[in-house]
Amino acid sequence: MGTEVGAAPERWWERVRWLRRNALGLNRRNQDLVLRHNPPRLIGLVDHKTRTKELLAAQGITVPQTYARCTRTRDLMNLEGQIARFAEFVVKPACGAGGEGVLVIAGRDGDRLVKVSGAKLTRRDLLAHAADILGGAFSLSRARDEVLVEQRLRPDASLAPYSPSGVADLRVLLAWGVPLLAMLRLPTHASEGRANLHMGGIGVGMDLVTGVPRYAVCRDQPIEVHPDTQRALCEMRIPHWQDVVRLASRTYDAVPLGYLGVDIVIDDRLGPVILELNARPGLSIQLANRRGLRPLLAALERELAAGRALDADERVQLGMALNESGADEA
């Protein structure tokens, strides 16, 4: 897809040198960003999807509609009746992470539920999965959790050909509300319709200014075409790009975490919708963009040194300016 400013070199020894100078590692992310700039109170809020949705909705930010919630085992008795009128929906743990425990129902076949993969589930299967969620099988702390059933989002027509197995989402990485990197995550048959890279999804690095694809990886390896459709990834164009980046930045006004990942779906009816927030966003977005976070963070800290408060539009402009400046030396 072309060589970008700050792109990682191809020779292995040059790549190692580049990584040491530019890439943000896990330990530095935890120590310099998460521990220092993400208060535990706000992390706890973001880790609970239901509370996060309520807070964002109160700020006028679009989130998926909630169909049902189960907080106790006895609530499961009413779950089937609550969702009976919905042909498709998503079941997820309120405190899950990394896509674990997310069940995407694409339709019904008689009294059975049909997953995106085509596999069919019985009523007992659904209730067993919900019981596992309540028991904490997928929660971050393995403590008791809540079952959240919500609207299944549909990808915009421009992205549908690249996500035949589910819904693509956009991850925008923020530092102090300023967007620094963006990545489109595409589901595959291997990822069972979920746009999670560690499950076999595709990460497409997006130019923050234009929304044009830069580079793509699947299981940390370079990729140029979608494995399920053979469509060239470089041909994608993201609708509402400016709205997407601004929407991501607006979440900082509701949840002021210093380091935050914002996941957005462009729904074919609703436009950009906040899917969820992540207080510990991963670092593979650097691989997808072939661009390290360390120089961008250093440049951002210099810009914010004056301490002037910025609104969402100013934060977006600053993030784009940093990306255009070619800040690629630590």
What is the per-residue pLDDT across 165-182, written as a single tens digit (0 to 9) for each?
Answer: 788 999 999 999 999 999
Lay out the sheet containing 271-278: strands in order across.
Answer: 221-222, 213-218, 202-206, 178-186, 169-175, 259-267, 271-278
Domain boundaries, the chain: 12-62+155-325, 66-150
Please give the helix or strand (H or E) that residue 264 lies within, else none: strand 259-267
Distance between CA atoms of residues 323 and 234, nearest Å: 20
Q: Which amino acid is at 270?
A: L
Q: Which two tokens stand for residue 55?
A: 């807070």
Residue 124 has pLDDT above 60, yes or no: yes
Residues 6+ apart with CB under 8 A from 1: 213, 214, 215, 216, 224, 233, 234
Task: Residue 317: count other Cβ atoms within 10 Å of its Cβ.
Answer: 14
Q: Which amino acid is at 115?
A: K
Give the pTM: 0.89
| Predicted pLDDT at 313 | 97
Lowest mean pLDDT among 77-86, 124-133, 183-192, 320-329: 320-329
CB 44 within 8 Å of CB 328: no
Q: Mean pLDDT across the stretch 135-161? A: 90
Lay out the sheet containing 120-121: strands in order across.
Answer: 66-70, 147-150, 89-93, 103-109, 112-115, 120-121
Q: Which fold has domain 66-150?
A: Dna Ligase; domain 1 (3.30.1490)
Q: What is the pLDDT of residues 256-273, one digit of tens each?
A: 999 999 999 999 999 999
DSSP for 36-99, please give it: HHS-HHHHHHHHSHHHHHHHHHHTT---PPEEEEE-SGGGHHHHHHHHTT-SSEEEEETTB-TT
User: pLDDT class for 3, splitting at 50, 70, 90?
Assistant: very low
Span between the terminal Cα atoms of the chain, in Å: 25
H-assigned helices in the chain: 12-22, 26-28, 35-37, 40-47, 49-58, 76-83, 123-134, 241-254, 285-289, 293-304, 312-325
| Predicted pLDDT at 166 | 80
CB 213 within 8 Å of CB 183: no
Q: Which two tokens stand for residue 137?
A: 């099988």
Summarize the chain as % helix, strand, coil (round to 5).
35, 25, 40
CATH of 12-62+155-325 given 3.20.20.140, 3.30.470.20, 3.40.50.150, 1.25.40.10: 3.30.470.20
| Predicted pLDDT at 8 | 56
Q: Which residues on adjacent β-strands are paired with residue 174?
A: 179, 260
Residue 11 has pLDDT above 90, yes or no: no
Lowest mean pLDDT among 47-61, 78-92, 138-152, 282-296: 138-152
Q: Which of 186, 261, 268 is nearest to 229 (CA)?
A: 186
Q: Which amino acid is at 19?
A: L
What rounded mean pLDDT belongs to the chain?
Answer: 90
Residue 329 has pLDDT above 50, yes or no: no
| Predicted pLDDT at 1 | 60
Segment 206-211 long-range contacts (CB within 8 Å, at least 24 positions apart): 206/170, 206/182, 206/238, 206/289, 207/4, 207/323, 208/179, 208/180, 208/181, 208/182, 208/245, 208/319, 208/320, 208/323, 209/320, 209/323, 209/324, 210/241, 211/182, 211/237, 211/238, 211/241, 211/244
Q: Which two tokens stand for residue 294?
A: 């360390």
